[in-house]
Each structure stands twice: as structure tokens, then as C-alpha cells.
Amino acid sequence: MPEEILQTHKLLDRCEVELGKRFTVHKLHLADDKEALIRSLAPRVRAIAGGNVGPELMDKLPRLEIIANFGVGYDSIDTAAARARSIRVTNTPNVLNDAVAEITLGLMIALARRIPQADQYVRQGKWPSGNFPLLTEINGKTVGILGLGRIGKEIAVRCQAMKMRVVYHGRHRQPDEPFIYYDKLVDMARDSDWLVLIAPGGKATEKLVSREVLEALGPEGYLVNVARGTLVDEAAMLDLLQSRKLGGAALDVFETEPQVPEGFFALDNVVLSPHQGSATHQTRNKMGDLVVANLVAHFAGEPLPSAVV
């Protein structure tokens, strides 16, 4: 008999097909009575595919052994609760580094040169009445990266290719990296033209990018968030963008996505993206493969390809 697993939200089609070939999959997000489904599975289910798993769900599944998250960021899983119950947690690192780094540079150039706005300018027939305003370039500018990790390093090399100066902040200095390290985020923001966020979400980084940090980045400064909306004081960011005390922002993630505060829609100094960092066929397929590989390895008693707990 195949193992029964619980899927907590919609996954990529290919991932769902591959899971279905190996396991009996129960889809929590499609259940009319979720509590009844959980109750009925409690004596049997040893694995979850997907995120959004807190201690309450863990407690209802006493045989749960592993949670395989679709995504490198696992802030929607309570890892402390998992550890306390000896539940393994896996994520999907590395396979998405290039995709996320590419969209980061895309968002930076889109914001610097107002590419979405320029597109609208042409489509709305405004060009014959006058040229689109002159803007700014990213070459020669300093980019401060919050989170010089797997993705942050890929962003760094691409920024260097764009002739930018790269500096970074994290909890630790990385002596093997050639970039200048700031131990205080606010100091890095003050010294940077661009601030790129690519650190994990969760309690430890909540509102790390405070009003003070955003004010330090200043009226000529640009913020790019490809990490999690929770890293930023979103209300302060909106206020500073509206009053032009922050130069601009390119945002792929939001505090309560997919809800985006309407205040952003009226601003010409922002570029908005619906959490597209890893959203390519090739990358999402590799992420799905890793979810499956972790579950297969677990049930075969083999080492997990990408465990975080």
C-alpha cells in the first residue's frame, strides 16, 4: 500500500502528478470539511507536502514525521514546534537561485528606467505629445544586499556585471567574500543607493527594514524586496514613498499578499510584481522534484536531500 500524505495547498501540476505516482495524496485545501479529513488521516499520515504548518496541525497528526515545503523560504512552518516533535522539515534551496537573481536585476532596471510606466506611456498614445522623462542608471551605484546567502550571492555577481559596487549586511561577516560588510543595516542603507532584501522571513527579521532604515536609504534611494513582505515596515514604506522621502521601490512580496495596499497603485515610483521570484517552468519543476525527492528519501530511510530540521 502506498504511504498516505497530506498536501496543504495547490502545488505545481507536475509535482502533484509525481506525488500521485508514489503516494496516496489527500488535498487539505480542496476538502469541504478540513477537520474531518485531518481526523480521518490522523492514525496514518506520516508526511505533509506543502507549507502553512503550525503546531495545531502537527498536534492533530501524531504520526507526522516530515514536512516537505515547496519553496526555499520555510517561514510558514513552525520549525521550533517541528523540532520539539522530532518532525523533519525540508525546503527547495539552490534550484531557484538564478531565477530569483534574474528577476531582481529585472526589477531594478524596471524601476530605474520606469519600464512599466514607459510601456503605458506608449500604449496610451502619450509619446507624440512629448518625450518620457529622463531617469537614472544603475551602473556606478552602490547596492546594499540584506542577506548575502545563496540567492544574495547570485544577485551580487549580477550587480557587479552591471558595474555596481556591492556591499552587504547579515548577522555574520563572510571573510571569503570580496564585498564590504556592514554590521548595522541602517548604516548600510545610509551608504547605499539601492537596498536589496533577500534574507528569510519569520519573527527574527520582522520589520527589520524599519522606518529608520528606509529614511536612511532616503529620497534618492531605491528599495527592492524579493524576500518576504514581513521584513519591511510596509506602512512606513508606503508613507515614505508617497511623501518622496524614499526614492522608489520594486516589490515582489508583500506583508499580506496576495492583498496589496491600494496606496501603492497610484505611485509612479514603484514597480509591483506578484511574487514571481521563482516563477519559471524550469525552476518550479526543479523545486517540485526536490519536494518529491525529499519525501521518497524519507520513506526509503535515506538521507534527506535538503533538510532544514
Say whether 79 sits in a helix, a strand or coil: helix
Q: Which residues pair with 293 in a beta bridge?
A: none
Which residue in the list 46, 114, 228, 298 is annotated as catalytic?
228
Report how far Cα 14 is from the mean position of its chain's Cα atoms.
Answer: 21
Binding segment for ligand 8YV (CB under 6 A), chosen from 71-79, 106-114, 177-185, 236-244, is 71-79
* 275 annotated active-site: yes
Binding track over 78-117 against ligand 8YV, x by CB under 6 A: ------------------x---------------------
Q: Judged by CB under 6 A, how many residues of this single chain contact ligand NAP? A: 28
- Active site annotation includes 234: no
| 150 contributes a contact to ligand NAP by CB under 6 A | yes
The only residue of 50, 51, 144, 149 in contact with ligand NAP, by rule CB under 6 A: 149
Instruction: Report the alpha-carbon angle 101-107-113, nearest 5.
Output: 135
Residue the block writes with cell 496606496: 263
Helix or strand holding residue 106 (H, E): helix 97-112
Rounded distance between C-alpha atoms, residue 169 and residue 197, angstroms? 10
Q: Print the binding letters for residues 79-98 with ligand NAP: x by CB under 6 A, - otherwise.
A: --------------x--x--
Q: CA 179 to CA 166: how far, in whole Å?
A: 6
Region from 17-25, 40-48, 65-73, 172-180 binding ligand 8YV, contact rule CB under 6 A: 65-73
Show the cell assigned to 192: 547605499
3-class SS shares of the chain: helix, strand, coil, % to 5: 40, 15, 45
Q: Judge contact between 273 and 249, C-beta under 8 A.
A: no
- Convert residues 36-75 into a mask of x (bound to ligand NAP by CB under 6 A) and - (unbound): ------------------------------------xx--
Q: Give 186 or 272: the residue with its C-beta nearer to ligand 8YV.
A: 272
Active site residue 83: no
Query: With binding defined as CB under 6 A, does residue 306 bind ligand 8YV?
Result: no
By the rule CB under 6 A, 73 interacts with ligand 8YV: yes
Q: Do the Cβ atoms of 170 and 146 come closer than 8 Å? A: yes
With CB atoms as reference, the residue minimizing the distance to ligand NAP is 149
Stretch that binds ligand 8YV, among 59-67, 162-170, 207-215, 271-279 (CB under 6 A): 271-279
Residue 257 CB, nearest distance to ligand NAP (Å)? Answer: 10
Amino acid at 47: A
Q: Which of 85, 51, 55 is nearest to 309 (CA)?
A: 85
Calpha distance 34→42 (Å, rounded): 12
Quote the DSSP letter at residue 99: H
204 binds ligand NAP (CB under 6 A): yes
- Residue from 15, 199, 237, 297 binding ligand NAP (CB under 6 A): 199
99 is written with which cell numbers?
Answer: 531565477
Q: How far apart are CA 147 and CA 125, in angstroms?
A: 42
Q: Which residues are tagged catalytic?
A: 228, 257, 275
Q: Rule CB under 6 A: which residues touch ligand NAP?
A: 72-73, 93, 96, 100, 147-152, 170-172, 198-201, 204-205, 226-228, 252-253, 275, 277-278
Q: Rule CB under 6 A: which residues touch ligand 8YV?
A: 70-73, 96, 275, 277-278
